[in-house]
A and B are shown apart, each in its own frame.
Chain A
Amino acid sequence: MERKFMKGSEAIAEAAIRGGCRFFSGYPITPQNEIPEYFARRAPEVDGFSFRQGESEVASVNMVMGAAASGARAMTSSSSPGVALKSEGMSYIAGSALPMVLCSVMRGGPGIGSIQPSQQDYWQATKAMGNGGFKMLVFAPHTVQEAVDMTYTAFDYAERDHNPVCILADGCIASMMEPVSLPEFVSDEDIEKARDKRNYYITIGKGKHADGKHVEISSGAGRVKADVEFMKSYGDIGADYGVRGEVSNRSMAAMFKRWAEKDVAYEEYMMDDAEIVIAAYGTAARVSKAAIAVLRKEGIKAGLLRPILVNPFPTAAFKSLDPKKIKHILDVEMSIPGQMLEDVEHAVQGAIPISTCLRSCGVIISREEIVAAVRNLK
């Protein structure tokens, strides 16, 4: 395994290439410009890779949609207002049941926000990336290494689910340099094998499908064709557009349920004897770990419950926190208002008091602030 000192953005791009990404399109926006720039530099070195600088965020995501339909592992990246512009394409991609990876490097507020590190797009990523009630698996790395590992495997998840996957990062993760272990390149044979699993559009441009029909990709009822397992329980649902669309949405709902059962991932850090639980993800969780080290030296039993994926949210893990043992939960986010806070509240249902320690708009939360917030808990 190759060990390198890399900037987060570039490490994410390299991990994607090693994970089999063969098409990238993006548009310049800070703080994620190094992602498209890296892909552009690497393009001629990677067999079968195409890079396109889109004329807009909108065009970029649509190019990725086309590439995904052609069977290529494809990716785009952007930051807050840019991600908002991509929401149309993301919705069509989800509706068409196409796999792709989006890296969202969050900015600090509505509109242009701030370009410095922030976590102001939690709701956008987890609840409503676009119209139509679709969701994505949302991975929230708190180190560059984790960003690498998540990006590398994201394509597998996207293809497993026939759905887009989001890597949710911020300017810290994207800009800082850390030593990383880079995974091996997925072989062309493995990419080809993965491609074969993409049942309904595998024959695009290659004649009729095994069912005797040509490929038709439409966002109206995409999952009806993609989710073969789910459709087994339905049999022939006919051609009625409304019926097909509704069944497709049912497949989507069933997928969300499967995620909640199987794909929840979280880290329990110093939780064994914890009396104070910090709820944080990404960069805020990273700083929280440093704060916990200080607090532990003071004899304050603080721990961290960190969602590794923020969707599906580790609801059960928060729900199972013992009110007799845990005196307080501190929600730490680089977002005002707290956004993950709502998911924590929903899980805890008032059983444990919850306070917040929040910064926003590009102010990176400090260890001292978190330490002070914990000390001040009553």
Chain B
Amino acid sequence: MEKIYSRTKGLQAPFTGGFCPGCFHGVISKSVAEVLEEMDLLDRAVCVIGVGCCCICSRYFDFDKMNAPHGRAPAVATGLKHGAPKDTVVFTYQGDGDLASIGIAEIMYAANRGENITIVFVNNSTYGMTGGQMAPTTLIGQKATTSPYGRNVAEHGYPMHMCEVLNQLGAPVFIERVSCDSPAGVLKAKKALQKGFQNQLDGKGFSFIELMSSCPTNWGMTPLESVAFMREHTLKEFEVKNFRDR
């Protein structure tokens, strides 16, 4: 019998979980690892991991990895890229609180300098690990522990659209938002990740991939409800599309 599918070597066994049921970090981190393996990069990749649920990946990723302070991963990756071997792929793995709030300066300027790195940005509209506080990406009206009556524009402003913001800059070469809510979406996400890593190998510069996720635990929903909510609301606010491919 032919073996047509096996777990990627990019994830350490035993992959016993750590993410909540229904969370997309599992499929996203698996996709990252699979793409790296497919591109034969497992021995040449370094992941700079942010702070939040994303750092649970440091248990699983079976390639070089480094934990950055909250929000600072793009700065750490900038320095790391300098001294690493030339054919190393340096990428960050960050959530939306990490990247779009406390790390807003670091992401903006790494992008604006056009650093030859790749950013993997997981957007689940909440601070997951700390228990569901309002994130820069929380939708208008969406409840969080620090916006218990729902996010309102008067007090909290509008959700941050990082792809659109970065698309104002001159230097980035690749900006795409994908969603992993379906098998087709996962395949598209993998393609975008591959493109992001290949750009770096080709010396082209800064690539940014935003992967939409749900957070059933902190949204207070079942996994299925959270996917339905995502399709009905989140993906309308955060349009899945390619913004730039140079």
| Bound-state Cα–Cα, A215 to B62, Å | 9
Q: How far is the CB of B163 from chain A (nearest CB, A)?
A: 20
A-B pairs, 10 with minimum CB distance: A70-B83, A66-B79, A72-B83, A205-B88, A66-B80, A67-B79, A62-B75, A63-B79, A55-B109, A207-B43
B87 to chain A, nearest CB (A): 8
Roughly how many angstroms separate A72 CA and B79 CA in the complex, as a whole number?
Answer: 9
Out of B45, B78, B105, name the residue touching A63 (CB < 8 Å): B78
A118 CA / B109 CA spacing, docked (Å) = 33
The complex places the Cα of A351 from the Cα of B83 at a distance, in Å, of 52
Report yes or no: A205 in contact with B76, Cβ–Cβ below 8 A: no
* B84 near A59: Cβ-Cβ < 8 Å: no
Contact assessment for A62 and B109 in the assembled complex, using a CB-CB cutoff below 8 Å: no
Q: Which of A25, A60, A62, A220 has the largest count of B CB atoms less than 10 A from its CB?
A: A62
CB-CB nearest in chain B for A50: B82
A206 B85 Cβ-Cβ under 8 A: yes
Q: Is B58 an interface residue (CB 8 A)?
A: yes
Do residues B105 and A59 form an inter-chain contact, with CB atoms below 8 A? yes
Whether a CB of chain A sits under 8 angstroms from the CB of B77 is: yes
Encode contact with B along A123-147: 1 for CB under 8 Å, 0 otherwise: 0000000000000000000000000
**Least Cβ distance of A40 to chain B in Å?**
14
A58 at the interface (CB under 8 A from B): yes
Please tell me if the beta carbons of A59 and B88 are within 8 angstroms of each other in the complex: no
Question: Does residue B44 face the partner (Cβ distance < 8 Å to A)?
Answer: yes
Closest to B76 in A: A66
Q: Which residues of A contact B80 (CB under 8 A)?
A: 66-67, 69-70, 204
Given known contacts A54-B75, A66-B81, A205 and B108 CB-to-CB distance under 8 angstroms: no
Q: For residues 44 through 66 of chain A, which have their beta carbon under 8 Å from a beta carbon of chain B?
A: 50, 52, 54-56, 58-60, 62-66
Count B interface residues, CB 8 Å: 33
User: Can you list 12 A-B contacts (CB < 8 A)?
Assistant: A52-B79, A59-B72, A66-B68, A67-B82, A71-B83, A72-B79, A92-B69, A204-B88, A205-B45, A205-B84, A214-B62, A217-B67
Tell me the bound Cα distance from A67 to B78 in angstroms.
Answer: 8
For the complex, give the distance between the alpha carbons of A64 and B109 in Å: 15
Q: Is there an interface contact between A56 and B105, defined as CB atoms closer than 8 Å?
A: yes
* B contact residues vs A (CB 8 Å cutoff): 43-46, 48, 58, 62-69, 72, 75-85, 88, 90, 105-106, 108-109, 113
Contacts of A63 in B (CB 8 A): 75-76, 78-79
Known contacts: A88-B69, A89-B72, A216-B65. The answer to whether A58 contacts B82 by CB under 8 A is no
In the complex, A153 has a CB within 8 A of chain B: no
Given A55-B105, A59-B106, A62-B72, are A217 and B79 neighbors across the interface (CB < 8 Å)?
Answer: no
B64–A70 CB distance below 8 A: no
In this complex, which of B62, B69, B106 has the most chain A Cβ atoms within 10 angstroms of its Cβ? B69
Give A contacts to B, CB under 8 Å: 22-23, 25, 50, 52, 54-56, 58-60, 62-72, 74, 88-89, 92, 96, 203-208, 214-220
Q: How far is the CB of B186 from chain A (nearest CB, A)?
A: 25
Q: Which residues of B contact A54 (CB under 8 A)?
A: 75, 109
**Residues of chain A with a CB closer than 8 A to B46's CB:** 204-205, 215
CB–CB B108/A55 < 8 A: yes
Tell me whether A217 and B75 are in contact (CB under 8 A). Answer: no
Closest to B73 in A: A62
Q: How many angstroms from the CA of A287 to the CA of B229 in the assembled complex? A: 71
Complex: how many Å from CA A220 to CA B67? 9
Q: Are A66 and B77 in contact (CB under 8 A)?
A: yes
Q: How far is the CA of A369 from the CA of B193 in the complex (A)?
A: 67
Residue of B nearest to A70 (CB): B83
